[in-house]
Amino acid sequence: MVQNDILKKYFGYESFRPGQDELVESIISGRDTLGVMPTGAGKSLCYQIPALMMEGITIVVSPLISLMQDQVGALVQSGIRAAYINSSLTMNQLYAVIRNAEAGVYKLIYVAPERLDSELFVNFARKANISMITVDEAHCISQWGQDFRPSYLNIPKFAASLPQRPVMTAFTATATQRVRDDIVRLLELRDPFTLVTGFDRKNLYFEVRRPSDKFADLKRLVTAYDKEGRSGIVYCSTRKNVEDVCAKLCEMGFSAARYHAGLSEEERRVNQEDFIFDRRRIMVATNAFGMGIDKSNVTFVIHYNMPKDVESYYQEAGRAGRDGSPSDCILLYSGRDVITAEFLINKSYEESEQEPAIAEETKRRDLKRLRDMTYYCTCGDCLRGYILRYFGEKAPLECGCCSVCCSDSEETDITVESQKIISCIYRAGQRFGIKVICDILRGSESEKLSGWGLDKLSTYGIMKETSERRIRRIMERLEVMGYIKRTEGDRPVLTVDNSALEVLRGTVTVKARIPEDEVKEKKQKETLVYAADPKLMEILKKLRQKIASVQGVPAYFIFTDATLADMCEKRPCTPAEFLNVSGVGSAKLERYGDEFIGAIKDYCGENPPGEPTVKKAPVNRMKTPEDRNRAFEELERGISQFSPSEENMNITALISSIITAAGVNVSAANLRTAVLEWLISEGYLQVCPDSDGGERKGVTGRSAGIGIFEEQFTASSGKSYTRVLYSPRAQRFIADNLGNIGGYQAAHL
């Protein structure tokens, strides 16, 4: 079978996400491969699909027991033979797994890095046919990564001990070049194909809020989520916060659990399971919670406190929306968070046992990162854009899906206010902190001010009408722009930077997006509704829960929320239609098809499809026949921009270059299906059996005439595959025929 068929058959997906395709191709061609993709991008499939295509066994090195259980559980559900070996197994279980492995039962075996030393495992591996070693969370091998695991360093030794060197592949979400270099060097990858995909997660909505009462705000948010049955994580910076917030939420009747490193191992395990199995909806946790949590239906991540850097923030927030559902990442900011974070950095500096010069450097770097994080919360620029640029990517000025882009407040000129603040700091002798400067500007009548003679300053009372809140926000803005500075220490003092002269002279203008004083209600972002039909969604969720409880697995092992939502939209009533749902492969059809189809049919009998009652989140699908025709018309119009590549391409690459060239917003999966169906209907392709007893699309007598041909290629395992390629001529032919393809598609709806 070719990779696209495996994707559909086992995983139930129509098309690859960006990058997956190329990584799979590279691996099956036998080349060492390194994939760097953000959390939730779908790294697992990139090695699981080649593992199924190659002869022999793939060993997956994975750092956490929970991760392995999660992945193996999901594979088994999809009808793939897999097992894990780690310290959670009893001796008997371990022997049983090894016996099975020796008998060739498994295609994938997940192991903890520590196991690579064990005699039992090494003996097995030497005799087995190991075609690939995959290192998941590969940044654990680097001391520069966040989660260094010394036992990862044993991997190359293990690989070298095998009779034949397997293909080596590595995956991580960590972006920095230094860590990437470490992975290649320490894992001894040979001339690896490296692919770094974009870090944008389009389904995530980012928001920064500055509530005057954080808990009240949190309560408002989780109340709304709770009504929609959504599950999520609330991150706090300290253990004490975790306990307070969790206790208060539970008192109010929310279904919350807590997690931090100070709890007993038993409590952590129980709470984590309660969350993963949907027995508790909200997890309140420190950053100790998360790595290895692949729970796919987390649809919000709220930060009760600002984290220490953007890396941590994006990793934690990125745990939302793994299955692609629209999800919220909300940060509740207050100036206190900055002070707490500074305090922690200074403390770890003082307690550091590193050489002074290195400790000094570490502190400097941490403070810089903290400033960058603070900037995210205060800058008033597009939040997504800021994050992407932070990770070295290009990003448009506005993303349209963050609190800044969705807010009403326009950027306004704050030059005059800035001048007043700067000159006040200067005239007061650069000896005072934020509070005193605010008091002077607002003309406070406190005795302290008059005692120091500060009420005689020319800047005294010149911002009487402005709220302290607004002045503070402008100060923040000036600080991140570098015009004013705050000294370190317990009583930070504001000072003026030389560059501020330009502001005072009026040669530069200062702009910011700062809401007017009367707290204007933000424009409500469109409520995201996940299912075309919430009632049906509820029914399907209950059914899923029932099945999951019987099997004792988390609900999302059965189907993700995104898959249920697609069922609501497609309302499949036959096995073939059910298979058409994104996330349904043949194993799941067989196992759950009857029950779900039954439930959907019952529901449809009572509720014929009518006008949708709720507004739906925008999805890139061609929906109604009119929509489809329109999409094809647009495609036809835009296609003049398309020029064939000089190289032969596979269908996925061709479709994506057509869409890109035409600049049209259509679903690649649907277009791909439409094109393939049309080619088959015209006799340019046919469905034929493949070597594994599955089906694939192959050439016909007519294919060569338009430049479609097949190519055999052999993987390092010795196995050979057939792939269909589209020459420049075939590419042009398909582009020219989009109109016909659209007509065919419309006629077959």
Give the shortest CB-563-to-ligand ADP separation in angstroms.
9
Q: Does 554 bind ligand ADP (CB under 6 A)?
A: no
Q: What is the rounded CA–CA span in Å between residue 233 and residue 254?
A: 13
Give the shortest CB-386-to-ligand ADP separation in angstroms.
22
Amino acid at 219: K
DSSP annotation of 731 reads H
- Nearer residue to ligand ADP within complex by CB, 2 or 436: 2
- Nearer residue to ligand ADP within complex by CB, 258 or 322: 322
Q: Does 363 bind ligand ADP (CB under 6 A)?
A: no
Nearest CA-CA partner of 14 in 687, 652, 659, 660: 652
> Angle between the 310-317 and 356-378 helix axes, to the nearest 10 degrees?
60
Among 42, 192, 292, 385, binds ligand ADP (CB under 6 A): 42
Q: Does 390 bind ligand ADP (CB under 6 A)?
A: no
Q: What is the rounded CA–CA span in Å between residue 145 and residue 153?
A: 14
Q: Give kind and range of the element (H or E) at residue 30.
A: none
For residues 108 and 82, the answer to whether their CB atoms sit within 8 Å is: yes
- Nearer residue to ligand ADP within complex by CB, 46 or 421: 46
Q: Does 44 bind ligand ADP (CB under 6 A)?
A: yes
Amino acid at 24: V
Among 16, 110, 254, 333, binds ligand ADP (CB under 6 A): 16
- Nearer residue to ligand ADP within complex by CB, 290 or 707: 290
- Nearer residue to ligand ADP within complex by CB, 423 or 563: 563
459 binds, among ligand ADP, Mg ion, none (CB under 5 to 8 A by kind): none
Nearest CA-CA partner of 311 in 178, 146, 137, 181: 146
Q: Does 41 bind ligand ADP (CB under 6 A)?
A: yes
Give the shortest CB-320-to-ligand ADP separation in angstroms.
12
Of 438-497, binders to ligand ADP (CB under 6 A) are none
Site stretch for ligand ADP (CB under 6 A), options 34-42, 180-188, 464-472, 611-619: 34-42
Give the shortest CB-39-to-Mg ion separation in angstroms.
7
Cβ neighbors of 94 (< 8 A, separation 6 or more) are 85, 120
Q: What token pair was written down for 337?
A: 């968070």
Q: How far is CA 638 from CA 115, 625, 629, 649, 729, in A?
A: 55, 20, 14, 20, 19
Site stretch for ligand ADP (CB under 6 A), options 36-44, 422-430, 658-666, 738-746: 36-44
Q: What token pair was written down for 390?
A: 């932070």
Give the shortest CB-292-to-Mg ion separation in angstroms.
9
Bridging pattern class, strands 167-172 and 327-332: unpaired
Q: Give kind and range of the element (H or E) at residue 562.
A: helix 561-570
Site stretch for ligand ADP (CB under 6 A), options 16-24, 218-226, 415-423, 701-709: 16-24
560 binds, among Mg ion, ligand ADP, none (CB under 5 to 8 A by kind): ligand ADP
42 binds, among Mg ion, ligand ADP, none (CB under 5 to 8 A by kind): ligand ADP
Cβ neighbors of 9 (< 8 A, separation 6 or more) are 1, 585, 586, 694
Give the shortest CB-4-to-ligand ADP separation in angstroms.
10
Q: How far is CA 748 from CA 183, 541, 628, 664, 677, in A?
A: 50, 32, 12, 22, 10
Q: Give kind and range of the element (H or E) at residue 459.
A: none
Give the shortest CB-26-to-ligand ADP separation in angstroms.
16
Q: Give kind and range of the element (H or E) at residue 264.
A: none
Question: Which residue's Cβ lies closest to ligand ADP?
Answer: 42
Q: Does 30 bind ligand ADP (CB under 6 A)?
A: no
Q: Does 124 bind ligand ADP (CB under 6 A)?
A: no
Q: Does 40 bind ligand ADP (CB under 6 A)?
A: yes
Of 17-56, binders to Mg ion (CB under 5 A) are 43
Q: How far is CA 262 from CA 107, 258, 259, 402, 494, in A?
A: 39, 11, 8, 34, 37
380 binds, among Mg ion, ligand ADP, none (CB under 5 to 8 A by kind): none
13 binds, among Mg ion, ligand ADP, none (CB under 5 to 8 A by kind): ligand ADP
For residues 725 and 25, the answer to whether their CB atoms sit within 8 Å is: no
- Nearer residue to Mg ion within complex by CB, 39 or 403: 39
Distance of CA 426 to the CA centre of its chain: 45
Give the shortest CB-354-to-Mg ion separation in angstroms.
32
Q: What is the rounded CA–CA span in Å between residue 293 and residue 289?
A: 8
Q: Does 326 bind ligand ADP (CB under 6 A)?
A: no
DSSP annotation of 411 reads P
- Nearer residue to Mg ion within complex by CB, 141 or 331: 141
Beta bridge partners of 484: 496
Give the shortest CB-39-to-ligand ADP separation in angstroms.
4
For residues 369 and 310, the answer to whether their CB atoms sit within 8 Å is: yes
Among 8, 9, 31, 43, binds ligand ADP (CB under 6 A): 43
Q: Torsion-angle region of residue 303: left (phi > 0), alpha (psi -120 to 50) or beta? A: beta
Among 4, 39, 142, 312, binds ligand ADP (CB under 6 A): 39
For residues 402 and 437, the answer to whether their CB atoms sit within 8 Å is: no
- Nearer residue to Mg ion within complex by CB, 557 or 632: 557
Bridging pattern class, strands 511-512 and 412-413: antiparallel
Give the shortest CB-584-to-Mg ion separation in angstroms.
22
Question: Which residue's Cβ lies closest to Mg ion?
Answer: 43
For residues 121 and 115, the answer to whether their CB atoms sit within 8 Å is: yes
Q: What token pair was written down for 269?
A: 């395990």
427 binds, among ligand ADP, Mg ion, none (CB under 5 to 8 A by kind): none
Count of residues touching ligand ADP (by CB under 6 A): 18
Return residues touching ligand ADP (CB under 6 A).
13, 16-17, 20, 37, 39-45, 294, 296, 322-324, 560
Return residues touching Mg ion (CB under 5 A).
43
